[in-house]
């Protein structure tokens, strides 16, 4: 029954839910994508209108710049106050009134005069000293024909805007005034309204790098802010938040318009109930069909399973069918085959009993075989204890080292160990040969890596040490030094076994290297030399893989170095213990 339920979940329940979820996600995703794209187009159209308004307001500067009475007034051409007042009232003030009438968004127009002899008659002209120093520093780099928009309140999402541009003399060679046009909030409000910022929709300003500039910025969650800072997309949806953005180049800021998906797609949410109802009805219909189909098949399988659970060594009866006939389908064939199997099992019971007796005999023989190495360990331990009792340290040490080597070689069933254990066994092996060769042999071991964590094959180093003793130390009468060094870099691990013996002749060294590079087994009798090295080379390649290998470095008369190079793989693939 568990399998039937599992089949129902896998074949009916999960596919129906997956289909419904996928279908809903596709519709919902398409609708949200289309909506966000349309919102972006509305925002871009609103920005196009805003740029038109900016250009219209900036045109006030051209009207003033090319008015000769205004430029003469700011340049101090008029020698008497009467001439200045006449030019102001006759030609300049009407021009100012006309500019403000044509642009209702303008709150005020002020010109900061650059020359002291200019008469400041009305609030239209102010002395340069009244200009904010920070603002003056900001606009000081403007060139002729360039203007700059500033926000009066940087912390507000709908600030008053101020436009600055210098007025030059008629030859455009000298600055004679700084035009300041203050624009009411209605300009930004109209832009937001055209961009669809109403109801639950919010607008805020960010810097070019995505840093919050307004008081409303904390309303955005941290993930949305990170996306705004790291992503250049014009629009995206973060969970339930719709984000449209656009750069306002005149203000050097980014405007962000946000809204909630749930507030936009309330009608879609209502349709979820209809979709869920359809999925439930479809699930019920498929469940009934599945039950009717499964019940016709599973009843006989369940009857066979119940009969199989009753079988044991004392009950090997066959399955019988009520009508005495087997249906000629797969299940009927299974029951017939099962009955034949039960008959055969009944015949083999005695054979199984005899096989168990033979297994017990084999286990006894295995137990006898285990006695032999334990007897050897105990004998070596007894020799060591007797040597220590007789104060014979050399015999005690040799017994201890040899016992360790024998236990390492005979007791473990695993074919791998760690490098630290291999180095420890090599030190025991070298100590025994040091006791035999005395002053003719010296050795050292230097390990510059974490040998406890590096897995390796058993008896990887012992053949190399044996080769160094047989062909290095034992082949000459002078003292020979053998060193074992293990180190690692970022890309590989190197293990060197070096002796100061006679080395290898060039032609023999070439033959050995060629033999290591071949994959075939040696056939000639003289090729038996180097079999141990070839075996080590094959084990290194098989265990560590990649470009790992054994190399032979030697110079005739100066000694030999047997080098194991283990090329590091990925961290997950390195053979650590």
Average pLDDT for residues 270-282, to the nearest whole number? 74
| Residue of 196, 216, 201, 213 whose CA lies nearest to 254 | 213
**CB of 161 closer than 8 Å to CB of 150:** yes
Q: Is the model's pLDDT at 514 over the cut of 70?
A: yes
Matching residue, tokens 């980014």: 254
Q: Is the model's pLDDT at 529 over the cut of 50?
A: no
CA–CA gap between residue 538 and residue 532 (Å, rounded): 10
Average pLDDT for residues 279-284, to the nearest whole number? 79
Q: What is the DSSP string of 342-387?
A: HHHHHHHHHHHHHHHHHHHHHHHHHHHHHHHHHHHHHHHHHHHHHH
Sequence-distant (≥ 6) Cβ neighbours of residue 496 within 8 angstroms: 483, 484, 485, 486, 561, 562, 563, 564
Lowest mean pLDDT among 251-255, 256-260, 363-367, 547-551: 363-367
**CB of 217 closer than 8 Å to CB of 204:** yes
CA–CA gap between residue 318 and residue 411 (Å, rounded): 49
Residue 280's pLDDT is 79
3-class DSSP state of 332: helix
Sequence-distant (≥ 6) Cβ neighbours of residue 57 within 8 angstroms: 103, 105, 106, 163, 181, 183
Core vs surface per residue 287-308: b (16+ CB within 10 A) or e: eeebeeebeeebebeeeeeebe
For residue range 154-191, what is the model confidence (pLDDT) as tens digits? Answer: 777 778 899 999 999 988 889 999 999 999 888 888 98
Structure tokens at 272: 């979820």
For residue range 198-229, what is the model confidence (pLDDT) as tens digits? Answer: 877 888 887 767 677 766 555 667 777 777 76
Percentage of the chain modeled with pLDDT above 70? 78
For residue range 306-362, what is the model confidence (pLDDT) as tens digits? Answer: 777 777 766 667 767 665 555 666 777 777 787 778 777 767 765 666 566 566 555
What DSSP designation does 500 have? -
| Residue of 536, 533, 511 whose CA lies nearest to 524 | 511
CA–CA gap between residue 268 and residue 271 (Å, rounded): 5
Residue 525's pLDDT is 41
* CB-neighbour burial class of residue 464 (10 A; exposed 0-12, middle 13-18, buried 19+): buried
Rounded to the nearest integer, the mean pLDDT of the chain is: 79
What's 416-467 look like in SS3? Answer: EEEHHHHHHHHHHHHHHHHHHHHHHEEEEEEECCCCCCEEEECCCCHHHHHH
CA–CA gap between residue 345 and residue 316 (Å, rounded): 8
Task: Tell which wins on pLDDT, 156 or 142.
Answer: 142
For residue range 440-492, what is the model confidence (pLDDT) as tens digits? Answer: 889 899 999 998 999 998 888 888 888 888 887 777 878 889 999 999 998 99
Sequence-distant (≥ 6) Cβ neighbours of residue 239 within 8 angstroms: 223
Phi, psi of 141 (to 5 degrees): -85, 0
Sequence-distant (≥ 6) Cβ neighbours of residue 564 within 8 angstroms: 460, 464, 494, 495, 496, 536, 540, 548, 549, 550, 551
**CB of 522 closer than 8 Å to CB of 511:** no
Q: Is the model's pLDDT at 294 over the cut of 80?
A: no
Beta-bridge partners for 126: 112
For residue range 463-477, what is the model confidence (pLDDT) as tens digits? Answer: 888 888 888 777 787
Cβ neighbours, 10 Å, residue 204: 23
**CB of 566 closer than 8 Å to CB of 493:** yes
Length reported for the chain? 577
Structure tokens at 344: 């055969």
Beta-bridge partners for 576: 454
Residue 267's pLDDT is 57
What DSSP designation does 5 have? H
What's the Cα-to-Cα distance from 517 to each of 159, 179, 534, 551, rounded to whole Å? 80, 87, 9, 10
Average pLDDT for residues 270-277, to the nearest whole number? 70
Helix axes 68-75, 14-65, angle to 10 degrees: 70
Task: Tell which wins on pLDDT, 472 or 195.
Answer: 195
Structure tokens at 356: 């168990």
Q: How confident is the model at residue 577 (pLDDT cuts 50, 70, 90)?
A: low
Lowest mean pLDDT among 282-286, 377-381, 391-395, 549-553: 377-381
| Residue of 270, 338, 268 whose CA lies nearest to 301 | 338
Task: Tell which wins on pLDDT, 180 or 274.
Answer: 180
For residue range 57-91, what is the model confidence (pLDDT) as tens digits? Answer: 999 999 999 989 888 888 888 878 888 888 888 88
Average pLDDT for residues 3-27, to the nearest whole number? 74
Residue 367's pLDDT is 42
**CB of 456 closer than 8 Å to CB of 446:** no
Residue 321's pLDDT is 66
Average pLDDT for residues 96-114, to the nearest whole number? 89
């Amino acid at each position: 029954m568990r399998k039937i339920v599992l089949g129902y979940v896998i074949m009916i329940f999960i596919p129906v839910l997956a289909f419904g979820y996928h279908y809903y996600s596709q519709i919902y995703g398409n609708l949200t994508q289309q909506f966000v794209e349309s919102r972006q187009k509305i925002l871009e159209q609103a920005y196009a209108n805003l740029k038109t308004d900016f250009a219209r307001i900036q045109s006030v500067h051209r009207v003033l710049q090319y008015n000769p009475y205004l430029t003469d007034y700011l340049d101090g051409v008029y020698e008497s106050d009467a001439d200045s007042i006449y030019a102001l009232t006759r030609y300049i003030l009407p021009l100012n009134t006309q500019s403000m009438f044509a642009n209702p968004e303008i709150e005020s127009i002020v010109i900061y005069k650059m020359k002291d002899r200019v008469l400041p008659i009305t609030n239209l002209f102010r002395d340069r000293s009244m200009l904010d120093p920070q603002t003056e520093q900001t606009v000081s780099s403007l060139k002729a024909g360039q203007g700059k928009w500033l926000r009066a309140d940087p912390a507000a999402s709908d600030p008053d805007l101020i436009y600055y541009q210098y007025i030059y003399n008629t030859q455009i060679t000298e600055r004679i005034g700084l035009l300041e046009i203050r624009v009411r909030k209605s300009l930004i409000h109209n832009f937001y309204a055209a961009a669809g910022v109403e109801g639950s929709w919010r607008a805020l300003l960010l810097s070019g790098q995505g840093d919050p500039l307004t008081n409303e910025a904390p309303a955005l969650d941290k993930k949305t802010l990170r996306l705004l800072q790291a992503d250049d997309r014009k629009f995206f949806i973060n969970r339930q938040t719709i984000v449209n953005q656009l750069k306002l180049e005149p203000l050097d800021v980014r405007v962000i318009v946000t809204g909630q998906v749930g507030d936009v797609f309330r009608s879609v949410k209502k349709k979820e109930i209809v979709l869920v109802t359809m999925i439930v009805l479809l699930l019920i219909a498929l469940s009934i069909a599945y039950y009717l189909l499964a019940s016709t098949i599973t009843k006989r399988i369940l009857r066979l399973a119940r009969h199989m659970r009753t079988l044991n060594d004392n009950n090997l009866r066959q399955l019988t069918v009520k009508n005495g006939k087997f249906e000629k389908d797969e299940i009927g064939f299974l029951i017939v085959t099962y009955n034949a199997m039960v008959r055969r099992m009944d015949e083999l019971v005695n054979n199984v009993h005899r096989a168990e007796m033979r297994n017990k005999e084999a286990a006894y023989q295995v137990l006898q075989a285990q006695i032999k190495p334990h007897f050897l360990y105990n004998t070596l331990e007894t020799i060591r204890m007797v040597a220590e009792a007789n104060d014979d340290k050399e015999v005690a040490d040799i017994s201890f080292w040899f016992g360790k080597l024998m236990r390492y070689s005979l007791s473990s069933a695993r074919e791998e160990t760690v490098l630290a254990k291999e180095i420890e066994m090599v030190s025991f092996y070298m100590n025994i040969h040091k006791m035999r060769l005395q002053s003719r042999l010296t050795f050292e071991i230097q390990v510059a890596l974490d040998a406890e964590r590096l897995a390796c094959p058993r008896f990887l180093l012992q053949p190399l040490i044996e080769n160094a003793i047989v062909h290095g130390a034992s082949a000459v009468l002078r003292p020979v030094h053998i060193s074992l060094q293990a180190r690692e870099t970022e890309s590989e691990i190197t293990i060197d076994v070096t002796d100061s013996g006679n080395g290898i002749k060039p032609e023999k060294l070439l033959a050995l290297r060629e033999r290591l590079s071949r994959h075939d087994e040696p056939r000639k009798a003289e090729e038996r030399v180097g079999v141990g090295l070839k075996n080590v080379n094959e084990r290194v390649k098989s265990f560590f893989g990649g470009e790992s290998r054994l190399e032979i470095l030697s110079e005739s008369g100066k000694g030999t170095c047997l080098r194991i190079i283990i090329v590091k793989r990925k961290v997950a693939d390195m053979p650590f213990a």
